[in-house]
Every structure is written in structure tokens, then in C-alpha cells.
């Protein structure tokens, strides 16, 4: 065999280990499952929006608007009186509708007198993720179409109207209802963008801490094995629980410190991008986090960190050396990034059930979702999440302590006979 072939064969044999492949296969499976669920959300979002229509104006331009709404959206509620707004909204909520459109009685008259015709939109917002607001963005195209058709009608009637007015003959008067709150004068897009800018920080902090502290824990376990210090440590009069807890606490402290340093830089980075077109803030609508809420967020963050590090310790017990530790940090990185992206793209409430369960099961999701949930006083999700994360952490720590009490940590017993054949065991 040539030197090149010999080296290549040896390297492949060394790299072909479960530690290399299992995390990647798991991540591939997770992404596959996520892709399928997200596809469902996208399909739902790009189908014609479900709306209700109240047309009080029977004149020409009101009819133009009404016909466009009926042809381009799925209208599930029709009325000719604005007294039916509450009935319409209730009907739409039942039928998964996104908005109730009201064309007022003076719509045509106002336009003909060169005043923008009002289109009143009562939005029913279900989630604040990017994918959740696709429906409302799609609806914007319908409004643009109404404007175009009204403009065409005005031009075809040879009406001598102001050219700048003809380009924008209508104006929207919007009210959004979201999580039992009313947001007058604001669209779902604006709410979503405000919430995103408010709740982006915690997911990033969480992700950075987990990646940094997790890597510290896994590497620490790997180095104990590589430097042959683990055997000595395990024969000392110290509880296995203390060893596990000591490593987790130290990594959490260092991870936190690194995250703070990192976030100082990130803060400046974000400051450069902060701009708002809506010029409104969440505080205007009473959506502010109280000091108690910050304690909840802190608790959620703390327990998720402990749970995450316990998971890293478990992975670390599989690490044989520094090299294998690097591979094992990959699934943790993925587990930290997945909920960050999920919470960015969709609201927990609007996720399909499978994705909802998956997101809830990842302990890192909870501090990422906590701030938004607390803004809307959804304490059930936050406390439920904290309880789940505590249970997750306790179970994982128990498993790690159990591994520390067995031979697995030192001899790495495996049930795969074909792998055994590749290795020689020392006694």
C-alpha cells in the first residue's frame, strides 16, 4: 500500500467513530423535521388570507374595493353595517381569519372630493414571528391592488384629479388585536418588528452562554481524560455529585463572564442598527417588563443554563480527548441555535403541535420565549417552562452522576461489537 493510501486509511479509521457521526445524524434529523413543520407554516401563510368584509358604501369605488377583496381573499364574513364589527371579529376568530375590512359609507364620496378613502382594518394577530406576519404582508398586496384599480377607474372616468392623489387614493386606519390586547393605529408588522427588537437580545445571550460554557464543560471532561487526571480525581474523597456540580458551576460562571464581554460588543453593534419607522414603543400600550418579570427571566436563564451544562457534561463523558470534544460541542450549538431561529420566525402559540413540543423540549427555548411571554402576562408558559427545565436539569444531572458511578466513564464500554473490533483495550 502506498504511503498516501496508508495514511488516508488510518485517518478515516480514526475519524469513523460514533462520536463524529451520531451528532451530525441527529442534527440532520432535527433539521429535516423542522423543515417539514416550517413548510406547513409557509403554505398556510401564502394561501389567500381569510378575511371578513363590511361594505357600507354601495357606490362605484366601494364596489371596486369590495370585488377585489372578494376575488383575492377568502371572505368568510359579509355585512353592510359597521355595527357588525364585533360579530365579524368573533366569526373570524372562529374561522382562523386574519382581518376584518370595513369600507365606510363615505368611501367613494371622499375619494371623489380628493380626500383619501378610509379602509378600516381590524387585524387579528396570532403570533409575532416573521412567518406569522406573512399573511398581513400578503394582504398589503391586495390593498395596493385596490389602489391601482381605483386609480384606473378615476383615470378612465376622465376625472380631473390631482396626480399625486391618484397614486394613493386610500388610507388605512388599522387596529390590531393580539393576545387579548388592542393596538389602535398600528399594524401587525409594526408590532412584530417592535417585539423582535425587544426580545432578540435574550436569545442571543442564551445562545452565546450555552455555546461558550458548554464548550468549556465538554473540553474540561475531555482534558481530564486526555491528561489522565480523571482516575486520580475519582479516587479522592469527594462526592461524584460535587465533581459534576463543581464543573457545571465553574463553566456557568466563566460562560456568563464571556457572554457579558461578548454582549458589550454586541450592544454597540445593535445600537448602529436601531431605527424605527413606527415611532411607537411597546410602553405606549402598557407592554413593559416589571422588575418581577426580570426575576422570572433571570430564573429561566439560570435554570436553562444549568440544564444545558448538565447536558454538556453528559456529552463530555463520551469525549475521549480534546479532538472528540470539539465534535461533541456541535449538537449543543445546534440546540442553542434552533430555538433562537424558531422564536424569531414564529410565535410559540402559532407553531404546529409537533414543532411546539420540540421547541418546548429544548431547555434553551424557555428563556428565549420568556420576555415576550411576560410582556403579555403569559405566566403559564414561563413558569411551566421553568418547572420543565428544572426537571430536565435534575434528570440530566442524575444521569451524569450515574455515569460517574459506573465504569463507562473510564472504560467507555460500548455495545457495538464492530467498533470493539477496531479498538484494542488496555488493562
Which residues are at the interface with another protein (CB under 8 A)? 227-229, 231-232, 234-239, 406-407, 410-411, 413, 420, 425-427
168 closest CA partner among 144, 195, 194: 144
- CB-based contacts of 251, cutoff 8 Å, min separation 6: 213, 214, 216, 217, 220, 309, 312
Nearer to another protein, 110 or 225 (CB): 225
Least spacing, CB of residue 3 vs another protein, in Å:
30
Task: Give bridge partners of residue 120 from the DSSP assignment.
Answer: 102, 173
Nearer to another protein, 391 or 410 (CB): 410
Least spacing, CB of residue 202 vs another protein, in Å:
33
340 closest CA partner among 142, 205, 147: 205
Nearer to another protein, 128 or 325 (CB): 325
Nearer to another protein, 5 or 237 (CB): 237
> Using CA atoms, how far apart are residues 117 and 170, in angstroms rounded to an integer?
4
Least spacing, CB of residue 235 vs another protein, in Å:
4
Nearer to another protein, 73 or 230 (CB): 230
Least spacing, CB of residue 250 vs another protein, in Å:
13
Nearer to another protein, 295 or 411 (CB): 411
Q: Do the Cβ atoms of 201 and 150 come closer than 8 Å? A: no
- CB-based contacts of 98, cutoff 8 Å, min separation 6: 49, 50, 51, 92, 123, 124, 126, 135, 136, 139
| C-alpha cell recorded at residue 384 | 411551566
Type and span of the H or E element at 33: helix 18-46
Nearer to another protein, 184 or 246 (CB): 246
Nearer to another protein, 163 or 232 (CB): 232
Q: Output the CA torsion sign for 266, 268, 271, 272.
A: negative
Type and span of the H or E element at 172: strand 170-178
Q: Do the Cβ atoms of 356 and 369 come closer than 8 Å? A: no
> Using CA atoms, how far apart are residues 110 and 83, in angstroms rounded to an integer?
21
Rg of the chain on CA atoms, in Å? 29
CB atoms < 10 A from the CB of 55, how many?
A: 22
Nearer to another protein, 163 or 407 (CB): 407
Least spacing, CB of residue 228 vs another protein, in Å:
4
Least spacing, CB of residue 420 vs another protein, in Å:
7
Q: Do the Cβ atoms of 161 and 114 come closer than 8 Å? A: yes
> Strands 50-55 and 117-125, how do they pair?
unpaired
Least spacing, CB of residue 21 vs another protein, in Å:
22
Nearer to another protein, 11 or 231 (CB): 231
28 burial (CB, 10 Å; 0-12 / 13-18 / 19+) is exposed
- CB-based contacts of 268, cutoff 8 Å, min separation 6: none
Q: Do the Cβ atoms of 147 and 169 come closer than 8 Å? A: yes
Sole residue written with cell 391592488: 145
Amino acid at each position: 500500500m502506498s504511503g498516501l493510501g496508508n495514511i488516508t486509511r488510518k485517518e478515516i479509521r480514526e475519524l469513523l467513530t460514533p462520536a463524529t457521526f451520531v451528532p451530525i445524524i441527529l442534527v440532520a434529523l432535527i433539521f429535516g423535521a423542522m423543515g417539514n413543520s416550517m413548510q406547513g407554516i409557509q403554505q398556510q401563510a401564502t394561501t389567500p388570507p381569510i378575511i371578513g368584509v363590511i361594505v357600507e358604501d354601495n357606490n362605484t369605488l366601494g364596489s371596486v374595493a369590495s370585488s377585489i377583496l372578494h376575488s383575492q381573499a377568502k371572505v368568510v364574513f359579509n355585512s353592510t353595517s359597521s355595527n357588525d364589527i364585533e360579530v365579524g371579529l368573533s366569526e373570524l376568530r372562529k374561522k382562523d381569519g386574519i382581518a376584518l375590512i370595513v369600507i365606510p359609507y363615505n368611501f367613494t364620496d371622499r375619494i371623489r372630493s380628493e380626500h383619501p378613502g378610509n379602509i378600516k382594518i381590524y387585524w387579528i394577530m396570532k403570533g409575532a414571528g416573521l412567518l406569522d406576519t406573512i399573511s398581513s404582508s400578503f394582504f398589503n398586496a391586495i390593498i395596493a391592488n385596490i389602489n391601482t384599480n381605483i386609480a384606473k377607474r378615476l383615470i378612465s372616468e376622465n376625472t380631473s384629479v390631482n396626480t399625486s392623489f391618484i397614486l394613493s387614493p386610500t388610507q388605512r386606519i388599522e387596529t390590531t388585536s393580539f393576545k387579548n390586547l388592542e393596538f389602535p393605529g398600528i399594524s401587525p408588522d409594526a408590532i412584530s418588528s417592535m417585539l423582535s427588537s425587544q426580545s432578540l437580545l435574550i436569545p442571543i445571550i442564551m445562545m452565546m452562554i450555552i455555546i461558550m460554557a458548554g464548550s468549556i464543560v465538554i473540553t474540561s471532561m475531555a482534558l481530564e481524560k486526555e491528561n489522565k487526571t480523571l482516575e486520580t480525581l475519582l479516587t479522592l474523597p469527594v462526592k461524584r455529585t460535587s465533581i459534576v456540580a463543581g464543573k457545571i458551576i465553574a463553566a456557568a460562571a466563566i460562560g456568563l463572564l464571556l457572554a457579558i464581554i461578548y454582549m458589550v460588543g454586541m450592544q454597540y453593534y445593535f445600537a448602529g442598527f436601531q431605527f424605527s419607522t413606527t415611532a411607537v414603543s411597546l410602553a405606549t400600550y402598557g407592554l413593559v417588563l416589571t422588575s418581577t418579570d426580570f426575576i422570572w427571566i433571570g430564573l429561566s436563564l439560570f435554570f436553562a443554563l444549568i440544564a444545558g451544562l448538565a447536558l454538556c457534561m453528559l456529552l463530555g463523558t463520551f469525549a475521549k480527548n480534546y479532538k472528540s470534544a470539539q465534535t461533541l460541542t456541535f449538537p449543543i450549538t445546534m440546540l442553542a441555535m434552533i430555538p433562537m431561529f424558531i422564536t424569531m420566525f414564529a410565535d410559540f402559540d402559532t407553531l404546529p403541535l409537533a414543532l411546539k413540543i420540540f421547541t418546548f423540549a429544548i431547555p434553551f427555548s424557555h428563556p428565549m420565549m420568556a420576555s415576550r411571554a411576560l410582556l403579555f402576562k403569559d405566566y403559564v408558559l414561563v413558569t411551566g417552562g421553568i418547572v420543565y427545565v428544572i426537571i430536565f436539569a435534575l434528570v440530566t444531572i442524575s444521569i451524569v452522576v450515574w455515569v460517574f458511578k459506573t465504569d463507562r466513564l473510564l472504560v467507555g464500554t460500548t455495545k457495538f461489537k464492530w467498533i470493539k473490533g477496531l479498538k484494542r483495550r488496555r488493562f
